[in-house]
């Protein structure tokens, strides 16, 4: 059924060979498929040399290339501008069409439109597919034909659609003989790309993703009970792999469905959150430009007190759970979901710093940074989003700490300087009398910062700020 002699398969955030929509379709419709990946200068030039994501992607690309070489093909790896490099390469290789999977990031949408235009001008076809999420764009709508802005009814509709439509499968192996026979090629080194090696705890590539997934499947039944406790190994830690597509989200959903336990159902709902935020971004690309989802909060006059953002970034707020979480982010490029909620709430409601500044910091540090999920999470915490924490309900950072890290295992892991404190004082060390601090060898202001703000007082200021923006309601 092939209708092309030769085509390009452009890998982007789908760095795998298993269950790959665009690759499956490319192989089925062409006699020869050239796989290509571009380290895009338009993206890389905006990143600092220490950005650890580039090392992670570099390792994933190397692993993909090795997997393709094991099949007698290879991966063309360019360090160039995708906008011009893809149309040029299609011409050089005589490819009649280019296949790729959707990416809803507005910058990627604009890039893809430019590439598509350039290819079509030269008489080449473009085929693009849904792959990154399970349901995208307008696939799930309200009865009035509008996108959902509230998660719970979206989840109901998502589950129903999954039950009726099922999960598509896009096998690659049966058609692998249509991959272009290529001699093993070299690829730019990390240093040639201008980046420094990172100390990554996460194994890269499809094999790294599969190992993590297999490990999580042993624990998935306990997910509902353990997912909120950062000291426990309760979550999957698959987010960076999902971000770069080293495993198929359809395979994950199928495994969770087959498992069927309460824990597996709870985890499936997290994959629906992911879809949800992606469709929100698709319908509201202005979110990428810093707009609040709720227009009433767009111009909220955030006080941004001097020094507060810096203290938060550098884990110097004096609130142990917040500081431990920020150290986890700074040291590993990952932060547990409960802690993302706590630290984002703390920055916006306790420090009164504009959520966009926190969003930007997470974007620079998270290995799993995803515009749709990050923006959704930040706007949830800042109470400006579609699904949002109501602005009058403000997390108490000490109570969050007592509830979700009761013995302080997580805090002690990232703030060893607080290890001598008794559990009860670990969540709010300022409650210890000075003499006791001295006796324990943890003096506030010397060994660990005194709290940067008083939660009760800042809570009142946050409420006043939001009440004014909301027109006095609430
Ligand atoms: C302020 C804030 C910022 C966030 N930024 C990001 C981000 O940049 N990238 C990112 O992938 N997630 C983000 N999240 C969502 C969530 O915190 C992470 O997906 C999760 O912590 C990743 O760990 P995990 O893979 O072990 O998750 P698990 O609990 O095992 O969940 C499985 C997968 O579901 C998806 N998922 C889970 N929760 C959410 C959610 N609330 N929204 C969207 N997808 C979700 C992720 O792909 C995750 O890998 C953010 C949340 C908040 C509150």
Task: With H, G, I as helix, E, B as strand and everything else as coil, classify residue 281.
Answer: helix
Task: Report yes or no: 60 and 202 within 8 Å, Cβ to Cβ.
Answer: no
Domain membership flag for residue 259: yes
pTM of the model: 0.98
Is any ligand 1 atom within 6 A of the Cβ of residue 223? no
Is any ligand 1 atom within 6 A of the Cβ of residue 382? no
Measured in angstroms, how far is the CA atom of residue 435 from the centroid of ligand 1? 42
Q: How confident is the model at residue 389 (pLDDT cuts 50, 70, 90)?
A: confident
**Atom 45 of ligand 1: nearest residue by CA position:** 274
What is the set of active-site residues?
270, 273, 302, 337, 355, 378
Instruction: Look over the chain and give the mean of its residue pLDDT values, rounded to a whole number.
Output: 97
Q: What is the average pLDDT across 263-283?
A: 98
pLDDT digits (tens, 9 = 90+) for 347-375: 999 999 999 999 999 999 999 999 999 99
What CATH number does residue 414 fall under? 1.10.579.10
Q: What is the average pLDDT across 177-196?
A: 97
Both tokens of residue 434? 């000075």
Q: Which atom of ligand 1 is nearest to the CA of 368?
A: 9
| Shared domain check, 156 and 109 | no
Q: Which residues of 404-415 are buried (b: 16+ CB within 10 A; e: fewer)?
A: bbeebebbbebb
| Shared domain check, 401 and 268 | no
Is any ligand 1 atom within 6 A of the Cβ of residue 328? no
Domain membership flag for residue 119: yes
**Atom 29 of ligand 1: nearest residue by CA position:** 235
| Shared domain check, 87 and 214 | no
| Shared domain check, 49 and 75 | yes
Q: Per the structure, how many domains does the chain have?
A: 3
Q: What is the average pLDDT across 162-170?
A: 96
Predicted local distance difference test score (pLDDT) of residue 470: 85
Question: Which domain-ending residue is among 235, 259, 283?
Answer: 283
Contacts of 459 (CB under 8 A, 6+ apart): 349, 350, 394
Is any ligand 1 atom within 6 A of the Cβ of residue 357? no
Question: Which domain-ending residue is among 237, 258, 283?
Answer: 283
Task: Report yes or no: 462 and 349 within 8 Å, Cβ to Cβ.
Answer: yes
Measured in angstroms, how far is the CA atom of residue 173 from the centroid of ligand 1? 30
| Shared domain check, 147 and 267 | yes
Residue range(s) defining the domain that contains residue 338: 295-469
Domain membership flag for residue 184: no
Measured in angstroms, how far is the CA atom of residue 271 from the centroid of ligand 1? 9
Look at residue 473 and tell me whether its pLDDT is greater than 90: no
Measured in angstroms, how far is the CA atom of residue 339 from the centroid of ligand 1? 11
| Shared domain check, 139 and 48 | no
Question: Which domain-ending residue is among 83, 116, 132?
Answer: 132
CA dihedral sign of residues 243, 244, 247, 249? positive
Domain membership flag for residue 181: no
Look at residue 474 and tell me whether its pLDDT is greater than 70: no
The backbone region for 433, taken as left when phi is positive above 0, alpha when psi lies in -120 to 50, beta otherwise, is: beta
Q: What is the average pLDDT across 176-192?
A: 96
State how far the Cα of 21 lies from the Cα of 208, in Å rounded to an integer: 21
Is any ligand 1 atom within 6 A of the Cβ of residue 368? yes
- How far CA 29 is from CA of 18, 179, 206, in Å, comes to 18, 12, 25
State how far the Cα of 384 lies from the Cα of 391, in Å rounded to an integer: 8
What CATH number does residue 138 fall under? 1.25.40.80
Predicted local distance difference test score (pLDDT) of residue 185: 87
Q: Which atom of ligand 1 is nearest to the CA of 341?
A: 53
**Atom 47 of ligand 1: nearest residue by CA position:** 239
- Which one-letter DSSP state was computed for residue 45? T
Is any ligand 1 atom within 6 A of the Cβ of residue 374? yes
Distance, first Cα to last Cα, the chain: 62
| Shared domain check, 148 and 15 | no
Domain membership flag for residue 438: yes
| Shared domain check, 341 and 375 | yes
- Which of 218, 222, 256, 274 is the best mutation target for the ligand 1 pocket, counting ligand atoms within 8 Å of the beta carbon and taking the most? 274
Q: Which atom of ligand 1 is nearest to the CA of 241?
A: 49
| Shared domain check, 398 and 268 | no
């Amino acid at each position: 059924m092939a209708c092309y002699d030769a085509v390009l398969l452009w890998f982007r955030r789908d760095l795998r060979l298993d269950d790959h929509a665009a690759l499956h379709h490319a192989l089925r419709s062409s006699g020869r498929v050239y796989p290509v990946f571009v380290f895009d200068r338009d993206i890389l030039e905006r990143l600092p040399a220490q950005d650890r994501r580039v090392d992670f992607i570099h390792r994933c690309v190397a692993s993909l290339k090795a997997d393709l070489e094991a099949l007698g093909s290879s991966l063309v790896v360019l360090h160039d501008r995708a906008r011009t490099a893809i149309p040029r390469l299609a011409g050089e290789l005589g490819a009649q069409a280019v296949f790729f999977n959707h990416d809803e990031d507005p910058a990627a949408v604009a890039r893809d439109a430019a590439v598509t235009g350039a290819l079509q001008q030269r008489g080449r076809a473009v085929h693009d597919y849904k792959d990154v999420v399970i349901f995208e764009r307008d696939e799930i709508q309200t009865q009035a034909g509008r996108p959902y802005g509230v998660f719970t009814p979206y989840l109901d509709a998502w589950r129903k659609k999954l039950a009726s439509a099922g999960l598509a499968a896009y096998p690659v192996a049966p058609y692998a003989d249509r991959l272009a026979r290529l001699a093993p090629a070299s690829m730019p080194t990390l240093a040639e790309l201008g980046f420094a090696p990172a100390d990554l705890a996460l194994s890269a590539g499809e094999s790294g993703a599969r190992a993590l997934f297999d490990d999580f499947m042993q624990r998935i039944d306990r997910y509902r009970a353990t997912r909120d406790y950062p000291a426990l190994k309760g979550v999957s830690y698959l987010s960076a792999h999902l971000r770069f597509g080293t495993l198929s989200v359809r395979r994950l959903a199928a495994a969770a469905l087959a498992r069927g336990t309460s824990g597996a159902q709870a985890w499936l709902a997290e994959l629906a959150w992911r879809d949800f935020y992606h469709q929100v971004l698709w319908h509201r690309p202005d979110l990428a430009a810093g707009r609040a989802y709720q227009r009433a909060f767009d111009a909220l006059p955030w006080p941004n007190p001097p020094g507060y953002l810096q203290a938060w970034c550098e884990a110097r707020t004096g609130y142990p759970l917040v500081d431990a979480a920020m150290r986890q982010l700074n040291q590993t490029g990952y932060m547990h979901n409960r802690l993302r909620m706590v630290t984002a709430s703390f920055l916006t409601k306790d420090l009164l710093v504009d959520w966009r500044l926190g969003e930007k910091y997470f974007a620079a540090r998270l290995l799993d940074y995803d515009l749709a999920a990050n923006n959704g999470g930040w706007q949830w915490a800042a109470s400006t989003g579609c699904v949002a924490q109501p602005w009058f309900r403000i997390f108490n950072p000490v109570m969050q700490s007592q509830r979700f890290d009761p013995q302080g295992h997580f805090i002690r892991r990232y703030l060893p300087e607080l290890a001598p404190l008794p559990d009860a004082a670990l969540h709010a060390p300022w409650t210890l009398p000075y003499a006791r601090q001295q006796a324990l060898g943890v003096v506030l202001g010397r060994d660990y910062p005194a709290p940067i703000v008083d939660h009760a007082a800042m809570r009142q200021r946050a409420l006043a700020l939001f009440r004014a923006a909301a027109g006095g309601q609430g």
